[in-house]
Amino acid sequence: MTYSLVQLAPGAYDLLLDGELMGSVVRSGYRTTDTIWTAELLEDLPVGKRPAPFKEIEHSFPTLEGVCAWLGDPVVKSNFGRSAFARSACEI
């Protein structure tokens, strides 16, 4: 299973698993203090059907780097600031 993140805006990412949207990664809190990054599944799947490494519907981390390490260092792409045409041309 291969995860990837697609940045939608600063602090907001779609989480894809093998190219399919399955969750999100978002930042909450103030940018320099009390920041929490949360990886969250879109569906409330039973524990046995959640993709690894998800044991809960959401998991929180102090940094984006921590989320990425936990997900197995996914490819991170940015759609932030691009036109709809440029986003549609972006390969994931």
Q: Where are the alpha helices (DSSP H) in 1-92?
A: 64-70, 84-89
User: What's the pLDDT score for residue 91?
Assistant: 45
- pLDDT for 80 equals 64
| Token pair of 50 as six digits | 């959640």
pLDDT attached to residue 79: 75
Distance CA 4, CA 26 (A): 14
Q: Which residues of the chain have pLDDT under 70?
A: 31-32, 80-92
Q: What is the pTM of this model?
A: 0.82
Structure tokens at 64: 């984006």
